[in-house]
Amino acid sequence: QQPVQSPQAVILREGEDAVINCSSSKALYSVHWYRQKHGEAPVFLMILLKGGEQKGHEKISASFNEKKQQSSLYLTASQLSYSGTYFCGTEDTGNQFYFGTGTSLTVIP
């Protein structure tokens, strides 16, 4: 089951914040976050394994809710280099892995 991401696309000015959400219809084993630039392979950002977990650093962080069905990626004080398409990847208890629908993020000066 492909997880659903929201929003589909967002445009930010440098320095603004963004939140990208990833939602699954059932409880997950883990959630991964990736950023993909045009024509390139995805780059791993982070993985969350525990319900209620929050991790990352000041600029890019993520959370995983207690029920392990929703995750959010937080981008703070965005930079031009943050532009790209962000995907969550979810793994269920049967070790099935699926990428989310993607969120296109554009940061403008």
Partner 1 sequence: GAVVSQHPSRVICKSGTSVKIECRSLDFQATTMFWYRQFPKQSLMLMATSNEGSKATYEQGVEKDKFLINHASLTLSTLTVTSAHPEDSSFYICSARDIQGSYEQYFGPGTRLTVT
Sites of contact with partner 1 (CB under 8 A): 2, 30, 32, 39-44, 47, 49, 87, 89, 91, 97-102
For strand 9-13 and strand 103-108, is the pairing parallel, antiparallel, or unpaired? parallel
Smaller CB separation from partner 1, 4 or 19 = 4
Smaller CB separation from partner 1, 76 or 83 = 83
- State the DSSP H helix or E strand holding residue 38, giving kind and residue range, or none if neither: none
CA proximity to 105, closest of 2, 36, 31: 36
Smaller CB separation from partner 1, 27 or 77 = 27
| CB 6 to partner 1: min, Å | 14
Q: d(Cα 65, Cα 54) in Å, to the nearest integer?
A: 9
